[in-house]
Amino acid sequence: MTLQANDSQIDFQPVGKRVTVAKYTTLLEAAIQAGIDLASACGGMGLCGQCRVRLLAGAATPPNETEKDTFSELELARGDRLACCTEVEGNVRVHIPRESLLIGQRLQVEGDDGELQVDPLVRAFEVVVPPPALSDPRADLARVVAGLPETVQVGQVHAEPAVLDQLSPLARAENWRITTFFRREELVGVAPAGSHPLGYAVDLGTTKVAGYLVDLSTGGELARGGVLNAQIGYGEDVISRLAYAHRNPDGRRHLARMIQESLNELLGELVAEAGATRSQVVDVCIVGNTAMTHLLLELPIRQLAVAPYVAATATRVEVKARTLGLDTAPGAWVYVPPSIGGYVGADHVAMIMATGLDEVDRVTMGIDIGTNSEIVLRQPGRPHLASASCASGPAFEGAHISDGMRAASGAIEVVHLTPNGADIKTVDDAPAVGLCGSGIIDAVAELYRWNLINHRGRFKSDSQRVRRGRQSLEFLLVDEQNSGSGRDVVITQEDVNEIQLAKGAIRAGLEVLLEATNTAPEAVEEVIIAGAFGSYLDIQSAKAIGLFPDMPNARFRQVGNAAGVGAKQMLLSQEARTRAERLAAGADYVELTVFPKFNRKFAMAMLFPELIGPQE
């Protein structure tokens, strides 16, 4: 390779990746080009402080004001930088600390399958017919139809050119003994005799993507897996991503390709794990919030990014899998279920399906906590579900928190304060490098229980356990000697305030939704907590900080990735799709911000509730 005068070579350690970029490219951009999943919550705008790296050698632009605010003089002296603020001026060597990487994260793909109904849209039929002859020159497709079992009502069979392009050579190679996959009257794929039809269900989260490979004839799951949403490098919350997609030429296409490629790679892994072939994958169901499905499908997003946040469509979308770059059976369709309103999307519908919230016979609330959180209320006897969306932000995912991180190795997930310090538990029991969502909630609950913050969330400056940090008061959880990053792990005043904003948004949404539906809080008989974060959350801590109302623990049920289970249901069952469309059409979307009392409720919900008293 010949280096041009204006090229710089970047050597990323310890991942050992090299990339050549133009001079004055930022290290964040270079990392993306190198395929490194460098954390960045703000999409490279210098706001989140997550893309910390260390410049080991070589020349770059000097630290800017943001970096000077972010790092101590010692840190700056040893080369600590924000990758998004650092433009290379020559060949450089860069160290990426573990906590800045998105790899090795715990990806929640488990959920309670319950009983899955199996009445798939695509069915397999074995076909054995005589080969063509001059005396029998029927078309290949007609020959297949003639070979179908007599019990099959095929009517006007048709197939796309891409499918016929596989049928003609395969039928001859297999001497006219093949498996055909039909979606109603449409032939969507062919495979050697004896092949089962498979389906691919996806829960496309803002942060995480969970995929499931399912046998459509039995309903059995053959493989499952998770990857991070590759769009994360362009913004951790949906608004940042919509802004990127809208602001940059080809931004929308770029983000779509990114997630489409991830979905295709994940499918490849699942198919390999199951010992199957891609030509068996004849149906796909993808759920996600409204922004994610819009970005996946390259729907118009300009009107979704600004008030009044209008979706292009809330009905189901069906597109050919290959138009999304998915390498499946050539005629396979992707089904994206309908959404309800605002950002309350197909994933919420899937969650309702999986938990049976549309059919339970007691007053039940469902909460799916994520970067956007959705709340749904079921009141038996009333025909409509009521749903609302809260812009809770990514704090529960570890973003906007000074030592926040996702649930990766070394993330503190459980915190108990002791008289002399803190008992912590980390993911993988690795040395602590930061806090993930459940750890942050635990920590804030403990600080409040131990009276180290007041009910407005202010650190008590007169406590000996509270120290003055670089920018504000803070509490030391793990000191630099014991941490995995060589830096203190702390909870700052700003962190507490971020958590107050996030939990306040959800709590206010919950209360407004109850009021809007004339439901007394005590009438709620069950609260279902869905989503990855919700699975690890300590209910007691969540109640202590006022995220949830003070109800008996037994009323809470943590169900894991219900959206993924719902996606599987709709993949496997036509009746489930009909039910999804019915419930989505019949669900009321409650726009919280137009509710007169919302602002006041939000302000109140940011406070901590009356102290129950420190545990232990």
Measure the CA–CA gap between 541 and 559, rounded to whole angstroms.
18
User: Residue 97, exposed/middle/buried by CB under 10 A (0-12, 13-18, 19+)?
Assistant: middle
Supply the minimum distance, in Å, between the C-beta of residue 377 and a second copy. Answer: 19
Could you tell me whether strands 411-418 and 526-530 are parallel, antiparallel, or unpaired per DSSP bridges? Answer: unpaired
Q: Of 12 and 181, which CB lies nearer to a second copy in the complex structure?
A: 181
Q: How far is the CB of 579 from a second copy (least distance, A)?
A: 13
Closer Cβ to a second copy, 145 or 353, answer by number: 145
DSSP, collapsed to helix, strand or coil, labels residue 351 as: helix
Shortest spacing between CB 341 and a second copy, in angstroms: 6
Q: Select 319 or 476, whichever has its Cβ closest to a second copy.
A: 319
Measure the CA–CA gap between 515 and 485, rounded to whole angstroms: 46
The b-or-e profile of 333-359 (16+ CB within 10 A means b, else e) is: bbbbbbbbbbbbbbbbbbbbbbbebbe
Q: What does the alpha-carbon distance between residue 453 and residue 131 come to, in Å, rounded to a whole number? A: 81
Nearest to 344 by CA among 303, 320, 374, 323: 374
Which residue, 15 or 334, has its beta carbon nearer to a second copy? 334
Strands across the sheet containing 52-57: 17-22, 7-13, 92-95, 52-57, 80-82
Nearby residues of 345 by Cβ (< 8 Å), 6 or more positions away: 287, 288, 289, 290, 291, 292, 293, 339
Say which residues have a Cβ less than 8 Å from residue 570's Cβ, sequence separation at least 6.
Answer: 201, 285, 287, 335, 337, 350, 353, 576, 577, 580
Q: What tokens does 124 get?
A: 């397999």
Q: In what order do the strands lie in the sheet with 177-183?
A: 122-128, 177-183, 186-192, 158-159
User: Least distance (Å) from a second copy to the CB of residue 138?
Assistant: 7
Distance (Å, whole) CA 256 – CA 268: 18
Note whether 436 and 396 are within 8 A (CB). Answer: no
Q: Which is nearer to a second copy, 10 or 204 (CB)?
A: 204
- Give min distance, CB of 159 to a second copy, in A: 6
Binding site for a second copy (CB under 8 A): 132-142, 156-161, 164-165, 167-169, 172, 297-300, 302-303, 307-319, 339, 341-342, 581, 589, 591, 593-594
Least gap, CB of 293 to a second copy (angstroms): 10
Residue number, 308 or 325, with CB nearest to a second copy: 308
Shortest distance, position 140 Cβ to a second copy, whole Å: 5
Whichever of 137 and 275 has its CB closer to a second copy, that residue is 137
Judged by CB, which is closer to a second copy: 7, or 581? Answer: 581
Q: Please, are residues 442 and 451 in contact by the beta-carbon 8 Å criterion?
A: no
**Two tokens, residue 573:** 């069952």
Bridge partners (DSSP) of residue 8 are: 21
Query: Would you say 106 or 241 has its CB closer to a second copy?
Result: 241
Smaller CB distance to a second copy: residue 52 or 183?
Answer: 183
Please state the closest distance from residue 384 (CB atom) to a second copy, in A: 15
CB of 314 to a second copy, least distance (A): 4
Residue 244 CB, shortest distance to a second copy, in Å, is 18
- CA 299 distance to own-chain centroid: 19
